[in-house]
Amino acid sequence: MKKKLVSLAMAALLLFAANVPVFAASPDKNKAGSVMRPQYTNTDTICALLDFSGDCANGGGFVLGDAGTNKITATAYLKRVTSNGTTTVKAWTGLTAYGDELDISKSYYVASGYDYIFEIDAWVYRYGTVEYVEDDVTDHCG
């Protein structure tokens, strides 16, 4: 009888312990370094940037590999956002850097009045492994 009572008490304790809510703090977007970012194996940072000079889209960014990175390759895309989805307007392929940093700076004339996405897809080579990373940014032209 004592074993059943102890077992019942333990089951009740586990039942109540499982229903305890747990909350995570939201990152403070006004505080430097508080933005949640993915943790990479080969990559330190990837950052895509986009702005407009009239109807000229200026896309750029960079990929920084961790120490020991020997090559970074990438493709950059400029995409137009419409009510039907996105359409690739321009793609730049074969972007390559030997070392641990790839800088990207591309311009292309676009139609104003649309939102555009500049996306960087990159592969970072380090110590015989390759890691795929990506970043994108959206901005409005006009």
Cβ atoms 74, 123 nearer than 8 A: yes
The answer on pLDDT for 40 being more than 90 is: no
Residue 39: the pLDDT is 81
The answer on pLDDT for 26 being more than 70 is: no
Q: What is the DSSP letter of 41?
A: S
- Residues 119, 64, 34, 134, Cα dihedral to 10°: 30
Structure tokens at 94: 């074969």
pTM: 0.73
Residue 24: the pLDDT is 47
108-116 mean pLDDT:
96
Residue 70: the pLDDT is 96
Element at 9 (helix H, strand E): helix 2-18
Digit-coded pLDDT (tens) for 120-131: 999 999 999 999
27-46 mean pLDDT:
70
Quickly name the fold that domain 43-140 has.
Immunoglobulin-like (2.60.40)
Question: Measured between alpha carbons, how far is 70 from 54 in angstroms, rounded to an integer?
Answer: 38
Domain range summary for the chain, segments of one domain joined by +: 43-140
- How far is Cα of residue 37 from the mean position of the Cα atoms in its chain? 7
